């Protein structure tokens, strides 16, 4: 029997509480956009290439951070109490993370002393430029051909903006549509994709560059409030650059077609709005506070998102079974078990935001996924940690490195973020991806994965 605390920390069994309005919303979207969806292949297509910072790029710019080294650095700062150090250790031992994630070199000294604008800029500019350079090298696209730019970084938003930095560095054209998204959490990468998609609908024959990253240097929490310590333990350095095109001539060389984007925002509810927030602790030290309500809020957001997405992607047989059961329970008050749709019938691949082991465990359980489906998300968490909005692209790169992407395969990316938001993107592969032709962070070590990750991995500290 689960304890009250365990029940509070777990995702709710949301298939017991599906709201009909979200099912109707999904069908309303499907019907009202039916003509557009049918004509989409003829009128507009978003094609994409992606680039995540490779391991070579990491080695040039950053250092690996083992869990033991993290504890040594945290202890050396002299900031944390013994209770706080013990809490750090407990989180890391149960985090599902390995010993090879990356941090800026500034963190290997005293992170609190290096928490300044100059070091933060150095980190973020190097990550962004490294990812874009690799992307442009892969695609052969010239910077002056890019008409749309979207950069997202939730917690580091300097002036001039990061998007302005990209424009300056690559000397992009003066009429570029440039956007800088901040404060939107780990789901901002898919928000950026959705924004780029909508802008491409208005700009024919264009390229859109999307860049997703997060800054580690400026967001080290140097205090003892337990609710703010998770970011120190889980978040690591990473970045991704994605090039989207609506040029018909690019179809043959593009990897994926964007089929759907769906955004769910729960910010109208106070509990959802406040569950992840940047604020000061009692000692006036800034950090990101994570509420105990996070898992319940994430469950409600996920429920809303997938209930609306279902009519767009599930086979008709699954829709009929789900809808019939729902109507029987809600309208006719019949005491029957809810039918849980099998989303594996709609998608070949799943990229679930690697926000932490607890999140992955609960999504796997409630969507009835298996170890094979969850492998890319768990291995991304193990190898790179939570890289915020870019982690979905490390997961997709894992599929590519393993040679699992076949022409016609559909991939579902789903991410959670502060606000609170749950966002989805569905991609269709336009070609079979040959790993021998790929360059991504996994290629030199993909044969070493997957690895077994124990529930608890002790740290000798």
Q: Does the active-site annotation cover 349?
A: yes
Looking from the CA of 205 toward its CB, the CA atoms found within 13 Å total 0
Answer whether 237's CB lies under 8 Å from 406's CB. Answer: no
The separation between the first and the last C-alpha atoms of the chain, rounded to the nearest angstrom, is 34
3-state per-residue secondary structure call for 305-323: HHHHHHHHHCCHHHHHHHH
List 219, 232, 246, 386, catalytic entry = 386
List 49, 88, 260, 353, catalytic entry = 353
Q: How far apart are CA 242 and CA 152, in angstroms?
A: 12
Q: How far apart are CA 357 and CA 385, in angstroms?
A: 10
- Bridge partners (DSSP) listed for residue 414: 352, 424
CA distances from 235 to 101, 230, 337, 376, 379 (A): 9, 8, 39, 18, 15
Residue 56 corresponds to which tokens in the numbers above?
Answer: 């070579």
List 88, 260, 349, 366, catalytic entry = 349
Identify the three-state secondary structure at position 48: strand
Identify the three-state secondary structure at position 447: helix
List 186, 233, 391, 422, catalytic entry = 186
List 265, 351, 422, 423, catalytic entry = 265
Q: Does the active-site annotation cover 224?
A: no
Q: Does the active-site annotation cover 168?
A: no
Q: How far apart are CA 354 and CA 390, in angstroms?
A: 10
By C-alpha distance, which of 257, 38, 265, 52 is closest to 138? 52
* Active site positions, annotated: 186, 265, 349, 353, 386
């Amino acid at each position: 029997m689960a304890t009250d605390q365990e029940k509070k920390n777990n995702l709710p069994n949301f298939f017991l509480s599906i709201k009909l309005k979200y099912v109707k919303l999904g069908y309303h979207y499907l019907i009202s956009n039916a003509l557009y969806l049918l004509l989409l292949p003829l009128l507009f297509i978003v094609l994409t290439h992606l680039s995540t910072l490779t391991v070579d790029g990491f080695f040039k710019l950053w250092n690996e951070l083992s869990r033991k080294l993290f504890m040594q650095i945290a202890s050396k700062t002299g900031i944390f109490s013994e209770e706080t150090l013990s809490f750090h250790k407990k989180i890391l031992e149960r985090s599902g993370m390995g010993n090879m994630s990356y941090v800026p070199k500034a963190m290997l000294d005293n992170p609190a002393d290096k928490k300044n604008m100059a070091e933060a800029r150095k980190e973020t500019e190097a990550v962004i430029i490294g990812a874009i350079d690799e992307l442009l090298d892969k695609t052969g696209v010239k910077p002056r051909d890019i008409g749309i730019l979207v950069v997202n970084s939730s917690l580091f938003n300097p002036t001039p903006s990061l998007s302005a930095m990209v424009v300056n560095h690559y000397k992009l054209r003066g009429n570029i549509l440039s956007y800088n998204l901040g404060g939107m959490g780990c789901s901002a990468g898919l928000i950026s994709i959705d924004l780029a998609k909508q802008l491409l609908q208005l700009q024919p024959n264009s390229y859109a560059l999307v860049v997703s990253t997060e800054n580690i240097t400026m967001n080290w929490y140097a205090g003892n409030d337990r609710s703010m310590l998770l970011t120190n333990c889980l978040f690591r350095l990473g970045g991704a650059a994605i090039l989207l095109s609506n040029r018909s001539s690019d179809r043959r060389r593009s990897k994926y077609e964007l089929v759907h984007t769906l955004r769910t925002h729960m910010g109208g509810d106070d509990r959802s709005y406040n569950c992840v927030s940047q604020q000061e602790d009692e000692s006036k030290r800034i950090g990101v506070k994570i509420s105990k309500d996070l898992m319940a809020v994430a469950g409600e957001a996920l429920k809303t998102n997938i209930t609306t997405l279902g009519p767009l992607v599930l086979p008709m047989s699954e829709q009929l079974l789900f809808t019939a059961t729902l109507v029987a329970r809600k309208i006719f008050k019949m005491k029957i078990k809810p039918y849980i749709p099998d989303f594996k019938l709609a998608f070949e691949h799943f990229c679930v935001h690697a926000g932490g082991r607890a999140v992955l465990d609960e999504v796997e359980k409630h969507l009835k996924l298996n170890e094979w489906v969850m492998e890319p998300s768990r291995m991304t968490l193990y190898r790179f940690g939570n890289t915020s909005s870019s982690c979905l692209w490390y997961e997709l790169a894992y599929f590519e490195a393993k040679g699992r992407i076949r022409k016609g395969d559909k991939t579902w990316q789903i991410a959670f973020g502060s606000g609170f938001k749950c966002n989805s993107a569905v991609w269709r592969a336009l070609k079979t991806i040959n790993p021998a032709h790929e360059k991504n962070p996994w290629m030199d070590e993909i044969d070493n994965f997957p690895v077994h990750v124990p529930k608890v991995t002790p740290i000798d500290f």
